[in-house]
């Protein structure tokens, strides 16, 4: 019984810490109709990061989508919610976008809810692993999908696999593989698999 209580207490404490550092994702389970295939057609520059700046590069990509010129490297310099190792919590992205006047929602869903969000026409920032067999985490804009693939605007150059085909994406990932990348759950992060940030331009905060 002592062990069970200790585990429960550890889960509660780690969840509270994560909620403060990362914000807590809102579960979304709704089944909403969306197009079978969708790709955000708006051209956007895709820049490549050199170190651990994926949060800033994803944020810059979103800002450029809305017509605000931004560079990931410049944003990263003063990016909030940064760890000693240089990584950034989801809260940092939300903070920057809120200061720019946008509202964000941090959702926990599934492939259907992700596709539905992308089909609204705004890139969605997914929280995934760099590689399915490693725990290094990564933020990347999702810009499209079809029945087989999820389409990404990838800031890690070594992961690019569709360079030159389209201007709106440079990486396509089979959906089953994406699900594995999207499974970022760890003992100290039980609730953060299948999470993504949705940005809204028509609902601004004061």
pLDDT, tens digit, for every residue of 37-91? 999 998 899 999 999 999 999 999 999 999 999 999 999 999 998 888 888 989 9
* Dist CA 110 CA 77 (whole Å): 33
Is a pLDDT exceeding 50 seen at residue 20?
no
Between the alpha carbon of residue 71 and those of residues 55, 95, 145, the distances in Å are: 12, 17, 26
The answer to which of 18-32, 106-120, 172-186 has the lowest mean pLDDT is 18-32
* Dist CA 197 CA 205 (whole Å): 16
Give the pLDDT band of residue 121 (cuts 50, 70, 90). very high
Residue whose structure tokens are 């520059």: 45
| Average per-residue pLDDT for the chain | 86
Residue of 86, 90, 80 lying closest to 52 (CA atoms): 86
Q: Which residue has the higher pLDDT, 11 or 195?
A: 195
Is a pLDDT exceeding 50 seen at residue 8?
no
Is a pLDDT exceeding 70 seen at residue 182?
yes
Phi, psi (rounded to 5 degrees) for 182: -75, -15
Q: pLDDT value at position 168?
A: 85
């Amino acid at each position: 019984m002592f062990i069970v209580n200790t585990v429960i207490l550890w889960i509660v404490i780690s969840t509270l810490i994560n909620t403060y550092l990362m914000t807590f994702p809102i579960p979304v389970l709704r089944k909403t109709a969306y197009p079978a295939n969708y790709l955000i057609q708006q051209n956007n520059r895709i820049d490549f990061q050199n170190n651990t700046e994926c949060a800033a590069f994803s944020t810059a990509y979103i800002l450029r989508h809305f017509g605000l010129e931004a560079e990931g490297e410049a944003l990263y310099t003063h990016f909030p919610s940064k760890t000693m190792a240089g990584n950034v919590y989801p809260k940092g992205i939300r903070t920057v976008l809120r200061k720019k006047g946008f509202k964000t929602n941090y959702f926990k869903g599934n492939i259907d809810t992700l596709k539905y969000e992308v089909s609204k026409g705004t890139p969605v920032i997914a929280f995934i692993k760099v590689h399915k067999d490693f725990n290094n985490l990564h933020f990347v804009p999702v810009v499209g999908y079809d029945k087989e693939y999820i389409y990404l605007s990838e800031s890690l150059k070594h992961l690019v696999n569709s360079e030159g085909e389209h201007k709106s994406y440079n990486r396509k990932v089979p959906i089953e593989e994406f699900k594995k990348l999207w499974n970022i759950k760890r003992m100290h992060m039980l609730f953060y698999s299948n999470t993504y940030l949705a940005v809204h331009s028509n609902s601004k905060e004061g």
